[in-house]
Amino acid sequence: MIYLDNSATTQPHPQVIEAVKRAMDNYYGNPSSLHSMGIEAENVLKQARQVVAQALEVKPSEVFFTSGGTESNNTALKGVAFQFQQRGKHIITTQVEHPCVYDVCKQLEEFGFSVTYLPVDEDGRVSPDELVRAIRPDTILVSVMHVNNELGTIQPIDQIGKLLKQHPKIVFHVDAVQSFGKLPIRMHEWGIDLLSLSAHKFYGPRGIGVLAKREGLQIQPLLTGGGQEAGLRSGTENIPGIAGMAKAIRLAEEDRDEETKRLYDQLQRLRQGIEQLPDCVVNTPKTGTAPHIMNFSVPGAKAEVLLHALEERGFLVSTKSACSSKTGEPSRILLAAGMGHERAVSAVRVSLGRNNQTQDIEQFLLALKECINYIRPLMKK
């Protein structure tokens, strides 16, 4: 099987697996314990926090460990909403956010908050100027993802952050789950107050992530209890997961530029091949995209039929984000970008990773052509 679903999750790097095993074998003490085993575990925690801080160019005290992107996003949005609700109850986000932001905003509406869901253009990109026009006196939070998980569109985070510096009381949150390890992230330079990461998107273990929080910003914790993570995220720290994530970050930072270029080259070849197929329409923009995501449609075909036909030929892809792929509904992201129902229900996402080689792309294009020829009689005329 050739795995082409790296936006859903990635295969942990062998060195990450070894780091997790080593931590489980040797550093099983509770980092809150005062004895030597606890101190050793605490040192692993401190070292990992330093690794994350260096990668994000922030202070170690601004790094908080969570169980992953969903918890980080929930903590950021709900933490800001409940901390500053006396100041205002207006939140701005986009129509193309991941469910763990979009659905949190829907939930906050049930708590009496008002949410503006900004539209996007045909590339799935939000307008910074339109975002600024949506700001109200009671706006307390703006949340915009860095890279869209379905289209691969890069949002103008640096421009948005620059504009929001004129509104210092508004907290700026960025979901960087799909971009970290592939694109540069300048948290403080871009004016980001809260940033979410998830280790399993960059060859780390599942169940571990990061919420980076600007120093001085106070938000309500989602989990309370033992007061770990400076009181922001109670619960005994997942030392093996944290150690594995730190290793994954080191590896990602070592060869990011080279790997990003390699992925962009593969993505370009993939685009060229798909565009040559008469029944395919590429949905991912030609410019301003991440190096690993390609979304396309075969109008008239059901995405699930194409997905399983490709799987029978040895290729694993997805229809949309893994979190919403089983709903049976057309992609909310593609509909928001104005692509229409037929393209949205027939969309397939290919996402590349470190294990994919050029020959994988060539073989996939041949298999895709075979699959389309196979299902063409079943397609709507």
Per-residue model confidence as pLDDT tens digits over 30-64: 999 999 999 999 999 999 999 999 999 999 999 99
Please enumerate in sequence order all residues whose Cβ is within 8 A of that of 125, keeping only pairs 6 or more positions apart, or say none.
Answer: 153, 154, 155, 156, 285, 288
Q: Where in the chain is the domain with CATH 3.40.640.10?
A: 14-253
* Predicted local distance difference test score (pLDDT) of residue 150: 98
Main-chain phi, psi angles of 269, to 5 degrees: -65, -40
* Predicted local distance difference test score (pLDDT) of residue 42: 96
**C-beta separation of 92 from 142 below 8 A:** yes
* Predicted local distance difference test score (pLDDT) of residue 327: 56
Active-site residues: which are they? 323
Is the pLDDT confidence value at 193 over 70?
A: yes
The string of pLDDT tens digits covering residues 241-270 is 999 999 999 999 998 999 999 999 999 999
The string of pLDDT tens digits covering residues 107-164 is 999 999 999 999 999 999 999 999 999 999 999 999 999 999 999 999 999 999 999 9
Q: How long is the chain? A: 381
**C-beta separation of 288 from 154 below 8 A:** yes
| Mean predicted confidence (pLDDT) in 278-303 | 95
Instruction: Identify the bridge partners of residue 211 per DSSP, sorted by sequence position.
Output: 64, 196
| Mean predicted confidence (pLDDT) in 358-380 | 89
Please enumerate in sequence order all residues whose Cβ is within 8 A of that of 342, keeping only pairs 6 or more positions apart, or say none.
Answer: 297, 299, 300
Is the pLDDT confidence value at 324 over 60?
A: no
* Predicted local distance difference test score (pLDDT) of residue 375: 84
Q: Where in the chain is the domain with CATH 3.90.1150.10?
A: 2-9+256-376
* Average pLDDT, rounded, for the chain: 95
Is the pLDDT confidence value at 75 over 70?
A: yes
What gap in Å lies between CA 100 and CA 350, rounded to an integer?
A: 21
Is the pLDDT confidence value at 185 over 90?
A: yes
| Mean predicted confidence (pLDDT) in 280-293 | 97
Does the domain formed by 14-253 have CATH 3.40.50.10470? no
| Mean predicted confidence (pLDDT) in 68-77 | 98
* Predicted local distance difference test score (pLDDT) of residue 321: 53
2 sits in which H/E element = strand 2-3
Is the pLDDT confidence value at 376 over 90?
A: no
Instruction: Determine what percent of the chain is predicted with pLDDT higher than 90.
Output: 94
The string of pLDDT tens digits covering residues 93-108 is 999 999 999 999 999 9
Both tokens assigned to 305: 């039929």
Quote the Cα angle for 236-240-242, to 5°. 75
Q: What is the CATH number of domain 2-9+256-376?
A: 3.90.1150.10
H helices of the chain, in order, are: 14-26, 36-56, 69-83, 99-110, 128-133, 157-164, 239-254, 256-275, 303-312, 332-336, 340-345, 358-375
Both tokens assigned to 191: 């004016």
Is the pLDDT confidence value at 357 over 60?
A: yes
Instruction: Identify the bridge partners of residue 196 per DSSP, sorted by sequence position.
Output: 175, 211
Is the pLDDT confidence value at 203 over 60?
A: yes
